[in-house]
Structure 1
Amino acid sequence: MRHGVYVREVPTSVLPPATASASLPVVFGTAPIHLSKRDKAPVNEPILCYSYAEAVEALGYNEDWKAYTLCEMMYSHFQLFQQGPVVFINVLDPAKHKKEVSDSSVSLVKGAATINQAGVLLPSLVVKLTSAGQPLVKGTDYVAAFDNDGSIVINRIDGGAITESQTTLTVSYTQLDPTSVTSADVIGGVDASSGSLTGLELVQQVFPRFRLLPGLLLAPGWSQDPVVGAVMKAKSTNINGHFRCMALLDIPTDTVKKYTDAPAWKEQNNYTAETQAVCYPKLKLGDYVFHQSTQLAGVISTVDEKNEGVPYESPSNKPYQATGAVLDDGAEVLLGIDQANYLNGQGIVAPLNFVGGWKCWGNRTAAYPAVTDPVKSFIPVRRMFDWIGNSLILTFWQKVDDPTNKRLVQTVVDSVNIWLNGLQAAGYILGGRVEFLKSENPTTDLMNGTLRFHVFVTPPSPAEEIQFPLEYDPSYLGGLFAA
């Protein structure tokens, strides 16, 4: 028996959207982890960094970007574009990418000796008075630390075994060898015995670890390898079995030296996917040289930030942080508007110095010109579809396994329509709606627990060509005469 007044909560009939991160870069490459401040340097581990200082502390920093490719992204994204966060994945493993240096002599001047070699692993350092002598004791006989250039400086300790008259020391150490890293390390895989992931396979761990979805996949210095590019394409279309993002890739500038050869290389190496944005050539800013994909990520993130994270606007005609375009050997490449448009017409993003300084130039994905569907051929439209799809998955995951009834259907339809109406009012889409159509939901599927909600949406295409027809109108000659 119940006697009185009671309250019972019912589920909210409209759900607020859980929007996906559209431009979070996930970057694969090598880092100077011998300079990491962490107790255990990160190897094949996603590292989320919101600032340049965080990245340097976790992964180290060295301006030899050819050896340590992740440092290029650190400098570009955090310092030049003031964007974040970034997920870095270092594949340089000191357990395998190393070389041993034994009994090397260094000069001792005023009680200090410097090892002018990059990548020395400080814990591996062994210091002796002579090659035949016994190892000295760190903290008792000497101290060793990195200087600002990344070299190891050894200082004698008064009262230790190193006397003031000592002029040389003998050192042995393990040195990182970035040159031994191969594209296979970047591609990675799954360890058969432990099940641990390496390389590009680790994109699957980003969302479970950080609750942030990958928005852009990059591997500057590696993405010009066709096998790496193929795997990046595959990963961008199937993250955690549900999500999609865009991969930013480069065409090599050491072998492709003429802009007219870039489209043929792109086609021959299958850089033709709708989830790929392909760049040629490189960029320079003073003495720094960047892969264009690195700065394209900065431009995309900057534009998305301006638009509340909604990726509806193209990165094209937005500023690069550059003073020129170059090949791998440093030769300058100056593309006119006709040459840049030629590359755009082949689905290649190019740098252009035409009006307003150096800018990103190109709206098309790598699928163009073979594919002209605006969803597959325009970068912002492709990204909007990915973002909307990812957001729908995140929002309605909470409704999975709820009873298939009218309340569920109405909740989904009302929630999505309200969200799409808001996007339309803000100018992010031209229009959108969702429908639960009987024709798409046969009885057998409903009995089996499968529901289909058809989303119609139209993001704006970029105004790629604006025309002004000019005509001479003789009727205005009448103004020469008095009224």
Structure 2
Amino acid sequence: MAFNHGVRGSEVATSLLTPVQSTASLPVVFGIAPVNLSSGETLPVNVPVLSFSFPEAEAAIGYSDDFEKYTLSEFMDSHYRLFNLSPVVFVNVLDPAVHKTTVVPANVKFTKGLATIQVEGILKSSVVVESTDSPGTPYVLDTDYTLSFDDDGYLVVAAKAGGGITSEATVKIGYDKLDPSTVDASDIIGGVDVNGKLTGLELIKQVFPRFGLVPGLILAPGFSEDPLVAAVMTAKASNINGVFNALALTDIPTDVVKQYADVPAWKNGNNYTSPRQLPCWPMVSLGGVKYRYSTQLAGAIGATDAANNGIPFASPSNKVLKANAAVLKDGTEVFLGLEEANFLNSQGTATALNFSGGWRIWGNNTGAFPSVTDPKDSIIPVRRMFDFVTNSLILTYWQKVDEPANKRLIETVVDSVNIWLNGLTSSGYLLGGRVEFRREDNPDTELMAGNIKFRVFITPPSPAQSIEFILEYDTSYLATLAA
């Protein structure tokens, strides 16, 4: 010990820890993007892309108004423009090296030095401009011409001054273009290729290591209607990175199930019945623009959480949809009364209801209902609060892993967690909560091995989904006539 003469101070770690809040409604969306319009140096294929705004997402993965082909564009439009929410993690699975078609060179005429090819999905790097006088002899990019895209995503070829193309010339132009129709369920499901590269839904495990954000919602608009895709989405929602949990938002296909009464049979027959799954039917529309229900459900969930400081204790049910119609895939409008909507809710399916206050999300239950009635597995906000508390505890106390397993550590965890749970309770996010270190949960053999267990008790409030007023004729008020 060093010799000390005088007075000095030292520090120890604070015995109470500030909680780290998980990102309960962070959407991770798998699908197709017009990546040929990306402004990045490399096209984002099977790479998670974090974006906080529409312009940022558009620059990263491109954007198209053709939501039927480009499913990630649909989510961009809904989440950023309609619901004004961020951030979002996008995963584009369309690979320009695979999902493409080749168009042989054909005659194109320049007008005032410009030629526009009105075709979506053209890959700029594949464009070949040839002379009609000597086919096979290409002009040189940035010497004879330049390439760009207009606001509609069409390729614009511009003749350069001093180059070999005149302002009214006719040339041959060939190219490769994206073919979204060749992307199928296997691309969304993904896997691990021969080089160890992750693709598709396997990339959910890269979100937290890359961005430090915990996935809250998993979506694949247009593809979650496939039972195999939905099953994998639901499986991936559990134990992300071995510890975190999320929810899968899945659609029931409206080109197959066209009547509300047929929804339960299809849902149960295709196993859309997990506590980690929110089945949705039908689609919705705003001004004639169609959106998958799961897309707008993610927006309603995010908006509800944002109104409650990011705490997912409130149900998205009876919250506003950005829609003025419920529709099938072919655009046929669906009109559900309260009885029909409640029937779908009773079968664990969220739907759209225009009853009071405009179009609303309608449904409080996960896909597990009615087979499972345990609130933590069957009621959406209760399920999400259990996930929120679990994920937050993991994030907060990870820093204590490998610390000495002594009484100070146990007291720090118990005191800190109880203070946090008391705060959630006083704010109305929980009806009550506590943590206990129980001796019976921690036998000597486990403590010797450094394994510690804490028992957490929480009671999130259930949604008041049924409010009843009982009216009675009271004859005593007849006395007022003689008063």
Q: Is the 8 A contact 2:111 2:167 kept in 1?
A: no
Aligned to 2:25: 23
Counterpart of 2:72 in structure 1 is 70
* Native 8 Å contact 2:131 2:171 kept in 1: yes
State the AA in 2 paired with 1:50. Answer: F
Paired position in structure 1 for 2:123: 121
1:197 alignment partner AA: L
> Alpha-carbon deviations, 1:25-81, whole Å to 9, x = none?
000001000001111111111111100010111111101111111000000000000
Instruction: Kindly indicate whether residue 155 of structure 2 is the aligned counterpart of residue 152 of structure 1.
Output: yes
Partner residue, 1:259? 260
Report matched runs for 1:344-383 at 5 Å.
Answer: 344-383=345-384
Partners of 2:304 and 2:313 in 1: CA distance: 9
Q: Which residue of 2 is the match for residue 111 of structure 1? A: 113
Answer yes or no: is 1:436 the counterpart of 2:421: no
CA offsets per residue over residues 432-456 of structure 1, 9 Å max, x none? Answer: 0001111111121111111110001
The amino acid of 1:472's aligned partner reads: Y
| Aligned amino acid, residue 455 of structure 1 | V
Cα RMSD (Å): 1.1
Partner of 1:480: 481
Structure 1 residues 461-470 or 95-104, which shifts more?
A: 95-104
| 1:316-339 Cα distance to aligned partner (Å, 9 max, x none) | 001000000000111110110000
Return the alpha-carbon distance in structure 2 between the equivalents of residues 43 and 466 of structure 1: 49
1:182 equivalent in alignment to 2:210: no
2-side partners of 1:200 and 1:105: how far apart? Answer: 42
**Within 2, Cα distance between the matches of 1:266 and 1:476?**
53
Could you say which residue in structure 1 is the equivalent of 2:140? 137
After superposition, residues 303-382 of structure 1 pair within 5 angstroms as: 303-382=304-383
Mark the CA change 1:165 to 1:149 in structure 2 (over 3 Å): closer, same or farther.
Answer: closer
**CA contact under 8 A between 1:107 and 1:114: conserved in structure 2?**
no
Match of 1:219 in 2: 220
Deviations 1:181-207 (A, max 9, x none): 111011111123x21111101110111
Could you say what secondary structure the match of 1:348 adopts? coil
String of CA shifts for 1:369-404, please: whole Å, max 9, x gaps.
000001000000000000000000011111111111
Amino acid at match of 1:89: V
Could you say what secondary structure the match of 1:261 adopts?
helix
The alpha carbon displacement at 1:176 in A equals 0.9
2: CA distance, partners of 1:460 / 1:242: 25
- Equivalent in the alignment of 2:449: 448
Percent of aligned pairs sharing the same letter:
57
Amino acid at match of 1:139: D
1-structure distance, mates of 2:112, 2:445 = 86
Shift of 1:164: 4.8
What is the rounded CA distance, in whole Å, between the counterparts of 1:161 and 1:401 in structure 2? 69
Residue 43 (structure 2) pairs with residue 45 (structure 1): no
Amino acid at match of 1:243: F
- Counterpart residue type for residue 226 of structure 2: D
How far is 1:165 from its partner? 5.3
Between the aligned partners of 1:413 and 1:102, the Cα distance in structure 2 is 70
- Check conservation: 2:328, 2:334, Cα contact below 8 A: yes
Q: TM-score, normalised by structure 1?
A: 0.98
AA partner of residue 146 (structure 2): V
Could you tell me which residue of structure 2 aligns to residue 459 of structure 1? 460
Unaligned runs of 5+ in 1: none
Q: Are residues 1:88 and 2:90 paired?
A: yes
Residue 291 of structure 1 is matched in structure 2 by: 292
Cα offset, 1:12, TM superposition: 1.1
Q: Which amino acid aligns with 1:350?
A: T
Partner AA of 2:147 in structure 1: A
State whether residues 325 and 359 of structure 2, in contact with CA within 8 Å, keep that contact through their aligned partners in structure 1. yes
2:165 is aligned, of 140, 152, 162, to 162
Q: Single out whichever of 136-145 and 418-427 deviates more from structure 2.
A: 136-145
Structure 2: tracts of 5 or more residues without a match: none
Compare 401-410 and 346-355 and name the one that shifted more: 401-410
Q: Which one-letter code corresponds to 1:34 in the other structure?
A: N
CA distance in 2, matches of 1:61, 1:12: 48
Three-state SS of the structure 1 residue aligned to 2:129 is strand
- 1:422 CA displacement: 0.4
**TM-score in terms of structure 2 length:** 0.98
Partners of 2:386 and 2:293 lie apart in 1 by 24
